[in-house]
């Protein structure tokens, strides 16, 4: 048997390092299927503001705040949100788009309390960085309101 060459050692080492990095990355990105709780903050679809509000402002001043702890309810809520239908928005820069005015914030937390955030404007459901989105309709908007006028 021949001793390993430098090239074979270096490719083996590279493979091991890539496997470790992939494992660490997978552990650091929470899966929505394994969430421990969901916090929902609704500000109002038709509320007029003087300036654009932040996700933190909605979290601190919601009209309605809801927390879901049940695993089945969380999985059904994730299915209903149709996150997989969100499409990549290549023209959007990192950070919220100036054209999207948030009105709803949805925070998913895993067992390690890592948060994954989505938000909705009156017209779109978006990832926190606004790079993925999909249109929403009245059915989506009514899901988060209790009052008849929905504002």
**Contact 117/106 with Cβ under 8 angstroms?**
yes
Among the listed residues 68, 86, 90, the one whose alpha carbon sits nearest the alpha carbon of residue 127: 86
Pair 88, 50 in one domain? yes
Instruction: Classify 67 as helix, strand or coil.
Output: strand
What range defines the domain where residue 122 resides? 32-142
Residue 79: inside a domain:
yes
Pair 9, 40 in one domain? no
Pair 83, 111 in one domain? yes
Residue 148: inside a domain:
no
Pair 24, 42 in one domain? no
User: Rounded to an integer, what distance in angstroms lies between the CA atom of residue 141 and that of residue 123?
Assistant: 9
Residue 149: inside a domain:
no
* Segment 95-102 mean pLDDT: 67
Pair 10, 60 in one domain? no
Pair 63, 110 in one domain? yes
Residue 150: inside a domain:
no
Q: Judge whether residue 101 has pLDDT over 60.
A: yes
Predicted TM-score (pTM) of this structure = 0.74
User: Rounded to an integer, what distance in angstroms lies between the CA atom of residue 4 and that of residue 132?
Assistant: 47
The tens digit of pLDDT for each residue in 1-31 reads 666 665 554 655 555 545 454 444 344 445 7
User: Rounded to an integer, what distance in angstroms lies between the CA atom of residue 113 and that of residue 125?
Assistant: 23
Residue 102: inside a domain:
yes
| Number of domains comprising the chain | 2
Beta strand residue intervals within the chain, DSSP E = 37-42, 64-68, 87-88, 104-109, 115-120, 124-127, 132-135
**Sheet of 115-120, strand order:** 64-68, 37-42, 104-109, 115-120, 124-127, 132-135, 87-88
Pair 93, 107 in one domain? yes
């Amino acid at each position: 048997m021949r001793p390993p060459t430098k090239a074979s050692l270096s490719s083996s080492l590279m493979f091991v390092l890539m496997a470790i990095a992939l494992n660490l990355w997978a552990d650091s990105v929470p899966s929505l299927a394994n969430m421990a709780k969901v916090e929902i903050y609704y500000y109002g679809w038709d509320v007029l503001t003087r300036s654009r509000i932040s996700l933190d402002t909605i979290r601190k001043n919601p009209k309605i705040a809801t927390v879901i702890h049940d695993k089945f309810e969380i999985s059904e809520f994730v299915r209903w949100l149709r996150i997989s239908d969100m499409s990549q928005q290549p023209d959007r820069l990192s950070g919220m788009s100036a054209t999207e005015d948030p009105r709803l914030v949805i925070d998913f937390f895993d067992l390690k309390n890592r948060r994954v955030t989505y938000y909705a404007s009156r017209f779109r459901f978006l990832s926190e960085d606004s790079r993925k989105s999909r249109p929403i309709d009245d059915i989506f908007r009514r899901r988060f309101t209790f009052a008849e006028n929905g504002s």
